Amino acid sequence: MNLAASRAAVALSLCVLLSACERQAATPSPTPATATPSSPAITTPAQAVPTPAPTIAIEPAIQAVTDYVLPGALGPDVGPERLKQLFGAANVQISDHVPGAEGEESRGVILFADDPTRRAELHYQDQQQLRGLTYVVVRERGTRWRLDNGIGMGMRLTDLVRLNGKPIRFSGLGWDYGGTIHDWNGGKLASRDGDPVRRLAQLDYVSDQPVSGDAFPSGDRDVSSDDPRYPQQGRLLTVSVLAVSFPGEDDL
C-alpha cells in the first residue's frame, strides 16, 4: 500500500471512531431509580362517642293565681310556702286568730288580709305545723272568689235552685250554722261520686230593708227551697259564705 492510501485508511478509521463516540454521548445513560421514601402510616384515633348528659326532671313552674276559683290551686298538701308561691309572700299571713264557728279562733292562714275582695281564711288539721289544709272560707260580700261549680257570693236562692235543677235543703237562719245548704237533692250542684272535695255555701238575709220575721225560716231546723210557707225566701236569701273542705286523716 502506498503512502496516500495508508493515510486515507487512517482518516476513515478516525471518522468511524468519532461517529461512534458521538452516538454514545447523545444517548443518555439511564438514571437509576431513586427510591421514594414511603410516608409513615398515620393512624387516626377513633372519635370518642359523647356520653349523653343525664336527664334531670324539672318540675313545672308554679303559676301565680290570678283567677280566684275554689278549690282551684288549693288542696290538702298546700302549706304556707306553696301559698307564697301562688299568691305572693306579702299576701300570706299566718295568724293565731282565724275565726271559726261559735266564736272560736284557731291558728291558720289568712290570704289577702287587707283586701276584702280577695280575703280567704284557711284552716289546717295540724295547726302548729300548718299541714293538712282542711277548710277554706270566704265571707266578704264583694269577694272575687267563687266556687268552680258556678256558685258566687250574693247569688239568690232562686238562682241557686235554677242552677241546680232541683230544690235544695238548708238550715234555718239565726244561728252559727244557719242557712247552710246541706242537700242538693241529686241536682247539678251535688258532689260527684269519687270527688273528695266538698263545695259549701251558706244563705242569709243581707239587706237594709226590713221584712217580717216569718218571711224566711229561722232556727235549727231543716227547710226546703220550695217550702210553701216561705214564698218570698227565694228572692230574699242570698249566698253569704263560700267554702270548700278537703278530707283530713279522719275522713280518708
- Residue 252, pLDDT above cutoff 70: no
Q: What is the pTM of this model?
A: 0.75
Q: Is the Cβ–Cβ distance between 233 and 225 less than 8 Å? A: yes
Tens digit of pLDDT for each residue in 127-163? 999 999 999 999 999 999 999 999 999 999 999 999 9
Domain boundaries, the chain: 62-148, 150-240
Question: Taking residues 65-91, what's their average pLDDT?
Answer: 96
Q: Show contacts of 248-252: CB within 8 Å, 24+ apart.
A: 248/76, 248/125, 248/132, 248/134, 249/125, 249/132, 251/196
At 38 the pLDDT is: 54
DSSP-derived secondary structure letter, 138: E
SS3 84: helix
CA distance 160 to 168: 8
Q: What phi and psi, each to the nearest 5 degrees, are found at residue 53?
A: -65, 145
Is the pLDDT higher at 27 or at 153?
A: 153
Give yes or no for residue 75 having a pLDDT over 60.
yes
* Per-residue buried b or exposed e for 65-88, using 16+ beta carbons within 10 Å of the residue's own CB: beebebbbbbebebbbebbebbbe
Q: Say if residue 39 is exposed, middle or buried (CB neighbours under 10 Å; 0-12, 13-18, 19+).
A: exposed
pLDDT of residue 103: 85
Number of Cβ within 10 Å of residue 143's Cβ equals 20
Name 92's bridge partners: 111
Residue 76 has pLDDT above 60, yes or no: yes
pLDDT digits over 190-235, tens only? Answer: 999 899 999 999 999 999 889 998 999 999 999 999 999 999 999 9
Answer whether residue 30 shows pLDDT above 90.
Answer: no
